[in-house]
Structure 1
Amino acid sequence: MNFVTGYCRLNEDFCAVNGEVISRRDVDSEDSWFKQIYKEQEFVYPKFYKMDLLSQAGFLGAELIKRANLRVAGSYPDDEIAMIFANSSSSTDTDMRFLRSYEGNSSPSPSLFVYTLPNIVLGEIAILNKWYGENMFAILPNFEPGFYINYLNITKSGGSKAALCGWLEILEGKVDVFLFFVEENEETGTPLNAENLASLFNHKPSIN
């Protein structure tokens, strides 16, 4: 049986790990919201500053889950962790930024062009962690628990023992990010089923 053994929820106002808020956005900060989290958590990965927002969100969610669940980083061979991500707007946020760079400067930004595919976030996480298992990025109308459950069964048949899954929806200042780590037979987590996954996705931790 599969269990959710760690998860991260991130929106425009807060970042929470396993249901506990670890960071709140400072609207007066000169830093972007994702950079605020990066600095507060004292991450050291200079490439973060070159990433688009989709990849920054994926990086933050994955790294925060790893910190909360040490098994993520050390208990699996590099080809046994799959990654299954989805959103509804693909890389539209970056595409629009790329278009504006062309219109404003008469020259498109190569650094933005690199990120005009949504699955680049998978590559960023894979390179950082040396995870070479199966991965995919789907475009769906809404967060669908059944999609992850069904695809996890497919990766399991291919030899995966765990998976980092995520919903990464970022568009024009709106942030709706939910990453979760799934493992087999780790009964300290939440049993993976559609009801539990929907509950974790919709849970709003107190930010008082």
Structure 2
Amino acid sequence: MSLITTYCHLSADHFSVNGELVATREKDAADSWFKQIYKEQEIVYPKFYKMDALSQAGFLASEVIKRVNKGLASKYQDDEIAMLFANQSSSADTDLRFLHSYEQNGAPSPSLFVYTLPNIVLGEIAIRNKWFGENMFAVLPKFAPGFFVDYGQIFLSTGAKAVLVGWLEVMGDQIEVFVALVESESEGGMDFNKHNLSKLAGLSHA
């Protein structure tokens, strides 16, 4: 039986894991909200500063989930953890920044161009953790629990023993992030089904 064992939420002002608040945004701080979390959690990964906002959001969520599951890295082989993410705006936040760089400077920014695909966040997390399992990023009209359950079960039936599922919607100051760890072999958690995923996510859906 597949179980949801850990989950986290990231909004424009709050960051929580398993329902417990881990960070609150300081609006007057010099650092961006995601950089505030990075420093507060004492994460050491310099490449974080080069990532776009979408990749930073997914990276932070995956890091906090890993910390709650301290044995995650040793529990599974490097190809047994899959990732399944989706959002509504694709990479539009970075696309607009890329367009602005072209209009303002007369030449597009290569550092932004790298992130003009939403699935780059999957690559960033995979490189960080050396995870080589299946991965997929979809663009959907809205959060759809059935999509995650159906595709997550496919991954779990074809070699994966854990799946990181996530809704990563980052568009300017509009931040709606929900990421959960689903495991096929666990002693505790909630059944991985549409009802439970919807309840934990707390996001609007059809």
User: TM-score, normalization: structure 2?
Assistant: 0.96
* Structure-1 residue corresponding to 2:26: 26
* Structure-2 residue corresponding to 1:96: 96
Q: Deviation digits for residues 134-181 of structure 1, max 9, x if unmatched?
A: 000001111111101100121122211111111000112100001110
Q: Is the 8 A contact 2:156 2:184 kept in 1?
A: no
Aligned alpha-carbon RMSD (Å):
1.0
* Structure-2 residue corresponding to 1:187: 187
* Structure-2 residue corresponding to 1:206: none
* Cα distance in 1 for residues equivalent to 2:198 and 2:156: 21
Look up the equivalent residue of 2:74 and give its one-letter code: G
Q: Deviation digits for residues 90-149 of structure 1, max 9, x if unmatched?
A: 000000000001111111110000000000000000001010000000011111111011
* Structure-2 residue corresponding to 1:2: 2
Look up the equivalent residue of 1:79 and give its one-letter code: D
* Structure-2 residue corresponding to 1:37: 37
Aligned partner of residue 94 in structure 2, secondary structure: helix
Runs of 4+ in structure 1 deviating by more than 3 angstroms, as ranges, are: none
Q: Is the 8 A contact 2:161 2:185 kept in 1?
A: no
Aligned partner of residue 133 in structure 1, secondary structure: coil
Deviation at 1:69, TM superposition (A): 1.1
Matched, 1:86 2:92: no
Q: Deviation digits for residues 176-207 of structure 1, max 9, x if unmatched?
A: 0011100013131121111111111118xxxx
Q: Any gaps of 5 or more consecutive residues in structure 2?
A: none
Q: How does 1:38-187 map to 2 (within 5 A)?
A: 38-187=38-187
Look up the equivalent residue of 1:71 and give its one-letter code: G
User: Identity percentage over the alignment?
Assistant: 62
Q: Any gaps of 5 or more consecutive residues in structure 1?
A: 204-208
Look up the equivalent residue of 2:26 and give its one-letter code: D
* Cα distance in 2 for residues equivalent to 1:39 and 1:167: 23
Look up the equivalent residue of 1:59 and give its one-letter code: F
Deviation at 1:74, TM superposition (A): 1.8
Deviation at 1:80, TM superposition (A): 0.6
Look up the equivalent residue of 1:141 and give its one-letter code: P
> How many residues are matched?
203
Q: Is the 8 A contact 2:9 2:178 kept in 1?
A: yes
